Amino acid sequence: MTEAAVDRHVVIVGASLAGTRTAQNLRVLGHTGRVTLVGAEAELPYDRPPLSKRLLQGEWSEAAAQEIRLATQEELDEREVELRLGSAAVGLDSAARLVQLADGTSVPYDALVIATGAAARPSPWRPPSGVYQLRTLNDSRAIAARLALGEPVVVVGGGFIGTEIAAAAVGYGCPVTIVDPLPEPMARLVGPEIAGSLVELHRRNGVRTRFGTGVVAIEGKAGELTVELASGERLAASTTVVGIGSVPSTDWLADSGLKLDNGVVTDRFLRASGADDVYAIGDVARWPHPGRGVDVRAEHWTNASDQAMYVATALTRGVEAGYEPTDYVWSDQYDWKVNTFGWRDPAGSSTVIGDLQADSRAAVIHTDAQGAACGAVTVNWVRALNQARRLLAAGASSDSVVDTIRQLA
């Protein structure tokens, strides 16, 4: 059981979704002690999924950027959340219970919540200009300015972020090429049943794909870039956007005594291993998944939000049960809506319902090696998604989930 005390000073490092929601939830749940929110960026907290979705795929504007704020200054003042923005955490002394900041100051805590998220995996290709990565509001602002030129764009990385940026670039009228060393990169995210249809969607919208070959060099400068592939092909580009995954933001914790292994390792209560009264949540946390039986680090919006509520509850009221994940992710690809829930067991099986080619909607129900339903993917079919989520949450059998979705079709 996690002990609770509502009058302690809670310091939250990371003005992310997870961090901001923790601060807000602490007050909603009755925490009366100090709450300090530390953020590396000088920006007020903002939501990140719109950076590659709504902000890039619409007409980028400062007004639209304000609409993705997670909280206003007035709201945070009203909830008595102390902000320390614009100075990143650079160290943690867990014995003295101090968070050290880049400006030379330290913030003491009674309880610490680590919510520093993840950063884009650094691009190995760094010409003087023209190569971008998307992780922050400033990144989105800079990429939008390049896309507005309508000039050739090469996207390196065929995951959700890369393909969403490609779709946005098409909307700006840019000639677009996506490069990925995997023959079918979307299969990592949605499984092979749906991946091919998503690739065809991009091709129908004019995107060229170079899958099964990697990038060996990017040379030149903005407006005059050459992207050299392992196949020997050379692609001309005005702008290149690199999306090759992410790394958890744990460098500042190197001497903290916490256990770090592809994130901050926690127990099932999201308590960090290696120190008392320290929690880790969101993209930076690596925790034991009760369904999969392994430790996972999940970069899901819903996971970050749910963990924020869980830890705020632990700190104010205590919790008896370990954290139970939602495992829900979504992506906007042109006018297609892709949703995934749960997970896909490589040793299990999958059942496809519907026909993307015939009516542009489909669902895939995943069954694990023991025969239990463990996840679902839907495209343009929200009703099927909602039904599958409800049935999986209730522990329905795989056959029952499949039969129900087939009846919807």
Measured distance CA(181)–CA(156) in Å, rounded = 9
User: What is the CB neighbour count within 10 angstroms for residue 137?
Assistant: 19
Distance separating alpha carbons of residues 94 and 253, to the nearest angstrom:
10
Residue 165, classed as helix, strand or coil, is helix
The CATH class, in words, for 10-119+247-316 is alpha beta
Strand stretches in 324-360, DSSP E:
328-333, 336-342, 349-355
Q: Which residue has the tokens 């067991």?
A: 345
Per-residue pLDDT of the chain (409 residues; tens, 9 = 90+): 445 677 899 999 999 999 999 999 999 999 999 999 999 999 999 999 888 888 887 676 788 888 899 999 999 999 999 999 999 999 999 999 999 999 999 999 999 999 999 999 999 999 999 999 999 999 999 999 999 999 999 999 999 899 999 999 999 999 999 999 998 888 887 888 888 898 899 999 999 999 999 999 999 999 999 999 999 999 999 999 999 999 999 999 999 999 999 999 999 999 999 999 999 999 999 999 988 889 999 998 999 999 999 999 999 999 999 999 988 988 888 889 999 999 888 889 999 999 888 888 999 999 988 888 999 999 999 999 999 999 988 888 899 999 999 998 8
Helix axes 192-204, 160-171, angle to 10 degrees: 20
Q: What pLDDT does 1 receive?
A: 42
Locus of tokens 């610490």: 112
Token look-up 């049960």 returns: 321
Return residue ranges of the chain for CATH 3.30.390.30: 335-408
> How far is residue 143's CA from residue 55's CA, in Å, rounded to a whole number?
11
Yes or no: say if 180 and 189 are a contact pair by the CB < 8 Å rule. Answer: no
User: 335-408 domain in CATH 2.30.140.10?
Assistant: no
Q: 10 Å Cβ neighbour count for 59?
A: 11
CA gap 189, 228 in Å, rounded? 26
The pTM (predicted TM-score) of the whole model is 0.93
What is the rounded distance in angstroms from the CA atom of residue 394 to the CA atom of residue 86?
44
Beta strands in 133-184 (DSSP E): 153-156, 176-180
Q: What's the confidence (pLDDT) of residue 61?
A: 77
Q: What is the DSSP letter of 253?
A: G
Q: Which CATH code, of 3.50.50.60, 3.50.30.50, 2.30.40.10, 3.40.50.261, is assigned to 122-244?
A: 3.50.50.60
Mark 81-99 as b/e (b = at least 16 C-beta within 10 Å): bebbeebbbebbebeebbb
Using N-to-C axis directions, what is the helix angle for 382-393 and 398-408, rounded to 10°?
Answer: 160
Cite the residue boundaries of each domain of the chain with CATH code 3.50.50.60.
10-119+247-316, 122-244
